[in-house]
Amino acid sequence: MSARIFRARHAMGPTVRGPTLVAHDGFSARYDLNRINGVFSRPTHKLVGQSYAGKILVLDTAKGGVATAWMLHEMQSRGIVPLALVLNSVNPILAQGAALGDVAMLAGFDEDITAAIPHGAEVEVNPQAGVLTLLG
């Protein structure tokens, strides 16, 4: 089976490869995460209880406030951080946080990326090329 490729309109950060956590839900580091334990903690989040460290998060859109702009950097410093963020749309805060924290990010696809990528799939995020590749 050949790899499927999805093109993003917005991209930054290093190329990474890893397993996905997928949900049609939002993302805010302050609202949704227990950053000490590295799990989604917001009771109503579809990924509640799941560990995000080393995972490529595939989610719908950015939610909430401005704290994520600092928090991705803080999470990166402790190594308890998502490998990459892949979203249908982002707000400036996620982009600013990814820039400071050097976290790979892709956003803006021609289809709902949360429907296109299976939960737990192995993917490669290549911001230089602006593509997400569903492997194997």
Partner 1 sequence: MKLNDEEKDILAGKAGFVPQQALQHQIKVGEFFGAEDLVPVSQAHVMADTESLGEAGVRWLEGLAATADGQRRVRIPTITDPRGTDFAKADLLGQTSTMLDLERRAIAAFVKLGVTMTDTCINYQTIQAPTRNEHVAFGDTGVVIYSNSICGARSNFEGGPSALAAGLTGRTPRYGFHLPETRRASLRVRVDFTPTTLNGWGALGGVIGRLAGNYWSVPVIEGIEGSPRSDQLKHFGAAMASFGSIALFHLAGLTPEATRLTDVAAADLPVVRATRADVDNLQRSYHTDDQVDVVVFSAPQLSLFELRDLAELCDGRRFTVPMLAVTSPQVKPDADRMGYTARIESAGGSVLSGMCFYQSYAREISEANGWKRLATNSAKLVNILGGYGYRPMLASMESCVDAASSGRLART
> By CB under 8 A, is residue 130 in contact with partner 1?
no
* CA–CA gap between residue 30 and residue 86 (Å, rounded): 18
Task: List helix spans (H) across the chain.
Answer: 29-32, 68-78, 92-101, 113-116
> By CB under 8 A, is residue 11 in contact with partner 1?
yes
Q: Which of 96, 119, 129, 131 binds partner 1 (CB under 8 A)?
A: 96
Task: Provide the minimum distance between the beta carbon of 136 and partner 1 in the complex, in angstroms, as a whole number.
Answer: 29
* CA–CA gap between residue 71 and residue 98 (Å, rounded): 10
Strand locations in 1-103, DSSP E?
4-7, 10-12, 16-22, 26-27, 33-34, 39-40, 56-62, 84-89
> By CB under 8 A, is residue 92 in contact with partner 1?
yes
Gyration radius of the chain over CA positions: 13
> By CB under 8 A, is residue 43 in contact with partner 1?
yes
> By CB under 8 A, is residue 99 in contact with partner 1?
yes
- Closest to partner 1 by CB, 92 vs 118, is 92
> By CB under 8 A, is residue 24 in contact with partner 1?
no
- Closest to partner 1 by CB, 42 vs 55, is 42
